[in-house]
Amino acid sequence: MAVTSLRATQVRAHAGAGLRPRRDNRAALIMLAPLLVLLGVFVIWPLLHAVYISFFTWSFYDPAVFVGFQNYLNVLTDAEFAGAVTRGLIFSAIVVPVQVTVAFVFANLVKTVSSRMATVMKVTIYVPAVISEVIAAIVFTLIYTHRGGLLNWFLDLFGIEAIPWLGDTFTALPAIAVPAIWIGMGVASLIMLAGLLDIPETYYECASLDGAGPWTKMFRITLPLMKNVILFLLITGFAASLQFLILPLLMTGGGPVNATNLPNLFILQHFNTDLYVGYSIAAALLLFGVLGAVSALIFRLVRSEKAMDA
Amino acid sequence: MRRALGRTLRYGLAMIFIAAALFPLAWLVIAGFKAKTEVVATPFQLFPEVWRWDNYAQLLADEAFLRSLAVTFFGATLFAALSLVVNALGAYAFARLEFAFKRTIWVVVLTTMFIPGIAIMLTSFIVVTELGMLDSMAVLVVPGAAAAVQVFFLRQFFLSVPTALEEAAQLDGAGPWRIFRHIFIPLSKGAFVVVGATSFLLFWNSYIWPVLTITDPELFPIQQYLATFRSERSSEHALLMAGSTLAALPVIILFLIFQRHIIRGVRLSGLK
Amino acid sequence: MRTSLIRLIAALTAATVLATGCGSGNEPSAGGRAEITLWQQKFTDQEDAWYRKAVAAFNKAQNKVRLKHVIVPADSWDQKMKAAQAAGKAPDVYTVNYSKVPGFARTGVIQPLDPLIPAGKWTGLQEPVLASVQHKGRKYGYPMLVEPSAVLFYRKDLFTQAGLDPARPPASWQELIDYGRKLTTKDVAGVVTAANQIDMAWSTWGLQWNAAGHLPITDDWSAPRATDPKYRQLLQAYQTLYQEGIMPKQPLAPYADANPLGQGRTAMMVCGSWAAGVLLQDYPQQVGNIGVAALPSFDGDRTKPTATLGGWTLVVDAKSGNAQASADFVSWLLAGDTTLLVEFFKNTMLSKYSPRQAVTEALAKDPAATENPWAKTIEEQVVRYAKAEPAYDWAISLAFGKAIEKALQGKDIDQALQAADAEIKDLIAKNNLAGQGS
C-alpha cells in the first residue's frame, strides 16, 4: 500500500540515552498488541502468503499447481525483468544525484538569505511534497505535450524545435524523472538544511580567522561534516526512486518501447495481464530482495547500529 | 559592489527555487480556468481566452465530488489518529520498556518497512476480503495504520528524551502508562504532528489501494474520484485540472497551518 | 491515565466500526431476493446510462434475483478484477472483450453458457463472431456488439485546403503517406494512429492479416511466424509515418479517443468505428467535413481484411453462486426482446454493429438508421472483410506490438521482427501453448 512511504518520513538512528528499567512484559504486551496485530494481519501474513503463492502457477480457478522455483527461474531468465531493474537503477541514477545536489544548494542558500526569505523558501520547497503522484503525473503530462504544451512553447521562444518529451526513447525517462525530483526535493532539502544548521558556526568563524575562503570552507568543513547526511539522502532516495509506479503508469504506460517501464510498473502490468499469478508475485519478491539488500546497506553505511539494537 | 552582486545572485537563485517548486501548481490552477478544448489546444495558449469559473463551479456543485472530498477528509483524520495511537504506543515500548524477545520483535517490525507494496498487494487484498472489509471505510483506514517507518521515527524521538525526568517519576512509583501519559505525550507534540501529518497525507494521496478495495462510488476517495474523469475514449482535461487543484488545496492549507511543526519535525528526525 | 488511553483506543475502534457500517453495501436483499453482481467497464456516458436503464428494467421484469450494477473505470479494471478473482469475489456477470474469452475459458475463469441458455437462443448470430467466444466447442459468452478496430476517418475541409480531392481517400499506403506529408502542418498532424505497443498490439491485428495473410503465430499456436518478410511493409509504413513526423511524435490522445479529429488537430485518424459515435455527438457541426474509408491494403486488394471485429460480450464467472440466474440475465438482455438493444445501437449513433440478425433487421426498419452517414461505408468496406479477434494470449499480441513500436522509433525492422519471433517462441514454451490453438 505505502509504496512511497519511504519518501514520506525519512529518519535515522539517534544516539539516545539507554535507560534500562525493570522488565514489564505485561505493559509492553498491551502497548505492542495493536501494532503487532495490525502488522501481523495486514503485512506479515500477506507476505508469507505471497511467498507461498510464488511457488505455484495459479489462475485462481483451476487448482494451483506446485512448480517449485519455476516462477523465479522464469523471472530471472526474462530479459525484460532484467531490463526493468536496470532501468530502475538508471532512473535512480538520474533522480537521486540531482535531488541531493538541489537540496545541498538550497540548504546553503537558505543559510545566507534573510530569515523572512528563508521561511518563504522552506515553505515553498515543501509544497510539492504534499501533491499526490496522480496529480503530478497529470500536470507534467500536460506540460510535456508535444504540440500545444507549455515546455515546447517556452523552448519555441528561443527558436528550439518542439521535442516529443514523452514520445522519444531518449527523453522519456529523464522527462519522468523531473516530477519524481520535484515531488521529493522538499523533504531532501529540509533534511539537508537541518544537517547544515547543526554545524557549529564557530567552525566557520575559526576558519575565517585563518583566512579560509568560501570554497575552502565548503570542502574542508561543510562537506566532510555533512558526509552522513548526504549518504543517508543518497541511499533512501535510491530505495524510494526504485519504487515509482504511478508516474510512469499514468504518463507513458511504460513506453515508448519500454523506455519508462520501471520495476514496479513491469510487475503491475504482468499482474494485470498474465493468465496465471505466479510470475508477478515472484518478480515482486525478488524486488523485495533487492530493496532489502539496499536497506541493509543503509543501516551499515550510516553506522546506525543503534537502530537495530533495541 | 561585489557584495551587492552576490546578494542579487543569491536572491535570484532563491527566486528560481521558488518558481521551480510552484510553477507546475500555478499551471494546474490556470488550466482549471480553461475551456474543455483549450487545455491541449494548438497553438499553445498560456492563459485562457476567457477566465471561466465553470469547471470549479461545476465541481463545487457536484455532490459526488464534495462527498468524495468529505469521505477523504474523514478517512484521513481517522487514519492519522489511529496510526498515531498504534505507532506511538509501540514505539514507546521499544524505546523504554524491557520485555521478552524484544530484539527479535524489533527486527521483524523493521523488516516490514521495506516490503514493497506491490509484493503484498494481492495477498493483503485476500485478507481484507476474508475479513469482510471490502467497500468500507475500515478497509482504507485499518490495514495501513501500523507503519514501521513511524514506529522507527517515534522510537528515535523517544530515545532522545532525557531519562532524568522518568527516573524521578519512577521513584514516585509511576508505572509505564503514567510516564507515557505525563512525560512523553506532552514532550512529543512536535513529533506527533509530523507523524499525524505524514499519515494524513499518505491517506489523502493513496490511489492503488482504494482502486482495488472500493467499488461503491459513494466511498471513492479523492484520487480515485479524479481518475473517473479520464477514460479510454475521451478525457475531461479542464475538469481534471480544476478537480486536481481542489483536491490539492486542503492538504496545502493543512501544511501551511502546521508548516512550522513539520519543518521542525524534519529536523527532529535527528540527523547529525 | 491508563484507562483514558484504553478509552481512546476503544473510541477509535468504535469510530472505525461505525465508518465500516455506513459504507458496507450489503443492505438486506429486498423481498428475500438473491443478489447477483454485474461489473461493467466504463464506456461513454451514453452506454453507461443504457446499462443503468437495462439493469433497472431487469430488476423490474422478474422477482427472483436482484442485479447489482457496478461501473469500473477502464484503467483500474484489470487490477480490480484480478484481485477480486484471487479472493473469490469476482462479479457473477461482467463485460469482456472477445479476445479475452478463450484465455479465460482455458484457465477456467468463466463458465460455458450453452448449458445455461437454451439452444434456440443461439440462432441468427454471425458465425465468425460466435467462433470468437468459443473454446473447445463450447460457448462462453453471448456476443453483444462488434466494432471494427481500425477505420480511416479524415477531414474533407483539410483535404481541400491541401489541394487533395476530398472524395478520394488514400487507396494505397504510399498514397496515405503522400497525403499525410501534404496535410501535415505545424499545428495539424497528417494522421494519428496507435503509437504505443499496447494500442498497436490490438489495433493492427487486421493489418497483420492484411500484410501477411496470417497472424504472427501458427494456427495451432505451436510456432511463431513473425519473421515472415511480408510483415516488413507493415512496420515500414509505421516507421515512415513516425520518422517523417506525419504522425505526431507524441500521441495527441489514446488510440481509442476520437477527439483530435473533431478538434481539427489531425487531418486523418485511424480509430475504431466507435469514433463515429463521439464525432456525431460532440462535433455535430463537423460531421459534413468528415469522410470515412477502409485502411488501404498493402497489395491494393480491397477484399483483404484491414480490421478485426472487436467487441464486447457478457460472461459468467466460474465461481458464481447463482450461475443460472446470471445466465438468465445475459439471455434476457442480449438474446431476448430486441427493443433495448435497438436503443443501445441508436444511443451510440450506430457506430457499432450487432452480430445478431434480429437486431440488425429491427434497426434497418428504424428511421434512425440514416443518422450515421458513415455506417454504410464502414459496413461495406471494413466489416465485410474483417476478421475475428485472435484467441491467443495477450502477451503474444503485445510481442508483435512491441516490434511495431521499435520500428516506429527507428530501430531495425528485421531485428524487431526477429525479437518478436523469439519472444513468441518463448511464450509458447513457458505457457504450454503448442496445440492449444485451433
pLDDT confidence of residue C6:
52
Q: What is the mean pLDDT of residues A148-161?
A: 89
From chain C, the residues in CB contact with A273 under 8 A are 78, 394-395, 398
Residue A303 has pLDDT above 70, yes or no: no
Could you report the per-residue pLDDT of A200-239, keeping only the tens digit for each? Answer: 888 888 888 888 888 888 888 888 888 878 887 887 788 7
Residues C127 and C152 both lie in one domain: no
Residues C365 and C407 both lie in one domain: no
Q: What is the dihedral of CA C263, C269, C274, C278, to 10 degrees?
A: 10
Task: Give the DSSP H/E element, type plus range, for residue A99.
Answer: helix A79-112
Is A104 touching C (CB cutoff 8 A)?
no
Cross-chain residue pair B78–C86, CB shorter than 8 Å: no
Residue A187: band (very low, low, confident or very high) from pLDDT cuts 50, 70, 90: confident
Q: What is the mean pLDDT of residues A42-65?
A: 93
Residue A25 has pLDDT above 90, yes or no: no
Residues of chain C with pLDDT under 70: 1-31, 369-370, 438
Could you report the per-residue pLDDT of B18-74, keeping only the tens digit for each? Answer: 999 999 999 889 988 988 777 777 677 788 888 888 889 989 999 999 999 999 999
Residues C162 and C291 both lie in one domain: yes
Residue C300, domain extent:
148-307+390-430
C71 has which bridge partners?
A: C40
Contact indicator for C188, C266 with CB cutoff of 8 Å: yes
What's the gap in Å between the CA of B105 and the closest CA on chain C?
22
Give the count of beta carbons closer than 10 Å to the beta carbon of residue A194: 21
pLDDT confidence of residue A5:
34
Residues C203 and C271 both lie in one domain: yes
Residue A309 has pLDDT above 70, yes or no: no
Cross-chain residue pair A271–C394, CB shorter than 8 Å: no
From chain B, the residues in CB contact with A128 under 8 A are 21, 24-25
What does the block give as the cell for A164? 516529443
Contact indicator for A106, A193 with CB cutoff of 8 Å: yes
Query: In terms of pLDDT, which residue wins out, A65 or B271?
Result: A65
Query: In terms of pLDDT, which residue wins out, A184 or C4?
Result: A184
pLDDT confidence of residue B257:
87
User: Which of A147, A267, A276 to mutate to probe the C interface, most C CBs <10 Å?
Assistant: A147
pLDDT confidence of residue A1:
34
What's the gap in Å between the CA of B213 and the closest CA on chain A?
11
Residue A17 has pLDDT above 70, yes or no: no
Q: Which residue of C78, C104, C431 is in closest CB contact with A272?
A: C78
pLDDT confidence of residue B159:
87
Residues C380 and C299 both lie in one domain: no
From chain B, the residues in CB contact with C70 under 8 A are 215
Residue of A nearest to B30 (CA): A139
Is A62 touching C (CB cutoff 8 A)?
yes
DSSP, collapsed to helix, strand or coil, labels residue C71 as strand
What's the gap in Å between the CA of A86 and the closest CA on chain C?
19
Most confident among A11-25, A236-250, B230-244 (mean pLDDT): A236-250
| Interatomic CA distance for residues A104 and A107, integer angstroms | 5
DSSP C287: G
Determine what percent of chain C falls in helix, strand and coil, rounding each to the nearest 5. Answer: 50, 15, 35
Selection from C283, C231, C289, C279 nearest residue C258 by Cα: C279
Task: Decide if C72 is inside a domain.
Answer: yes
Task: Decide if C438 is inside a domain.
Answer: no
Cross-chain residue pair B14–A20, CB shorter than 8 Å: no
Size of interface A-C (CB pairs under 8 A): 86
What's the gap in Å between the CA of C166 and the closest CA on chain A?
26
Burial pattern A274-299, b for ≥16 Cβ within 10 A else e, equals bbbbbbbbbbbbbbbebbeebbeebb
Could you report the per-residue pLDDT of C165-206, keeping only the tens digit for each? Answer: 999 999 999 999 999 999 999 889 999 999 989 999 999 999
In B196-215, the residues whose Cβ lies within 8 Å of chain C are 208, 211-212, 215
Q: Give the up-direction half-sphere exposure of residue A171: CA atoms within 13 A in the CB hemisphere.
A: 12
Rounded to the nearest integer, the mean pLDDT of chain A is 85
| Per-residue H/E/C for chain B | CHHHHHHHHHHHHHHHHHHHHHHHHHHHHHHCCCCCCCCCCCCCCCCCCCCCCHHHHHHHCCHHHHHHHHHHHHHHHHHHHHHHHHHHHHHHHHHHCECCCHHHHHHHHHHHCCCCHHHHHHHHHHHHHHCCCCCCHHHHHCCCCCCHHHHHHHHHHHHCCCCHHHHHHHHCCCCHHHHHHHHHHHHCHHHHHHHHHHHHHHHHHCCHHHHHHCCCHHHCCHHHHHHCCECCCCECHHHHHHHHHHHHHHHHHHHHHHHHHHHHHHHHCCCC
Task: Decide if C78 is inside a domain.
Answer: yes
| Interatomic CA distance for residues B206 and B229, integer angstroms | 17
Task: Give Cβ neighbours of residue C307 (< 8 Å, ≥ 6 apart).
Answer: C148, C149, C150, C151, C205, C206, C294, C295, C382, C383, C386, C387
Pair type for strands C65-72 and C34-41? parallel
Q: What is the mean pLDDT of residues A123-127?
A: 89
The dihedrals phi and psi of B115, each to the nearest 5 degrees, come to -75, 120
Most confident among A172-181, A211-220, B261-270 (mean pLDDT): A172-181
User: Which of B8, B44, B110, B160 to mutate to probe the A interface, most A CBs <10 Å?
Assistant: B44
Cross-chain residue pair C89–B177, CB shorter than 8 Å: no
Q: Which residue of A61, A164, A273 is in closest CB contact with C395?
A: A273
CATH number at residue C374: 3.40.190.10
Residue A19 has pLDDT above 50, yes or no: no
Selection from A90, A94, A57 nearest residue A278 by Cα: A57
% residues pLDDT > 90 (chain B): 44
pLDDT confidence of residue A244:
92
Task: Decide if C357 is inside a domain.
Answer: yes
What does the block give as the cell for A56? 505455484
pLDDT confidence of residue C369:
65
Selection from A195, A188, A182, A253 nearest residue A224 by Cα: A195
B partners (3+ CB pairs within 8 A) are: A, C
In A148-207, the residues whose Cβ lies within 8 Å of chain B are 148-150, 152-153, 179, 182, 185-187, 190-191, 193-195, 197-198
Task: Decide if C50 is inside a domain.
Answer: yes
- Position B266, amino acid: V
Residue of B nearest to C68 (CA): B216
- Position C123, amino acid: T
% residues pLDDT > 70 (chain A): 88
Task: Give Cβ neighbours of residue B204 (< 8 Å, ≥ 6 apart).
Answer: A132, B72, B76, B221, B222, B223, B250, B251
Task: Decide if C435 is inside a domain.
Answer: no
Q: What is the DSSP string of C88-117?
A: T---SEEEEEGGGHHHHHHTTSB--STTTS
Q: Which residue of B87, B144, B271 is in closest CB contact with A232?
A: B271
What's the gap in Å between the CA of B211 and the closest CA on chain C?
7
Q: What is the mean pLDDT of residues B215-231?
A: 86
- CA distances from residue C166 to A288, B102, C183, C190, C351 in whole angstroms, order as listed: 58, 80, 12, 14, 22
Task: Decide if C190 is inside a domain.
Answer: yes
Q: What is the DSSP string of A10-64?
A: -------------B-HHHHHHHHHHHHHHHIIIIIHHHHHHHHHTTEE--SSSPP
Residue of A nearest to B140 (CA): A1
DSSP alpha helix (H) spans, A158-241: 172-197, 201-209, 214-217, 223-225, 227-241
Residues C168 and C278 both lie in one domain: yes
B186, burial (CB in 10 Å: exposed 0-12, middle 13-18, buried 19+): exposed
Task: Decide if C8 is inside a domain.
Answer: yes
pLDDT confidence of residue B2:
64
Residue A306 has pLDDT above 80, yes or no: no
Residues C301 and C326 both lie in one domain: no
pLDDT confidence of residue C1:
43
Residues C62 and C130 both lie in one domain: yes
Query: In terms of pLDDT, which residue wins out, A307 or B10?
Result: B10
pLDDT confidence of residue B126:
94
Could you report the per-residue pLDDT of B150-199, keeping only the tens digit for each? Answer: 898 899 888 888 888 888 888 888 888 889 988 898 888 888 988 898 89
Number of domains in chain C: 2
Residues C268 and C404 both lie in one domain: yes
Residues C142 and C285 both lie in one domain: no
Burial pattern C379-418, b for ≥16 Cβ within 10 A else e, equals eebbbebbbbbbbbbbbbbbbbbbbbbbbbbebebeebbe
Rounded to the nearest integer, the mean pLDDT of chain B is 87
- CA distances from residue C316 to C93, C110, C113, C355 in whole angstroms, order as listed: 5, 6, 8, 20
Residues C249 and C280 both lie in one domain: yes
pTM, entire model? 0.88
From chain A, the residues in CB contact with B145 under 8 A are 38
- When mean pLDDT is compared across A25-29, B137-141, C365-369, the lowest value belongs to C365-369
Residues C21 and C74 both lie in one domain: yes
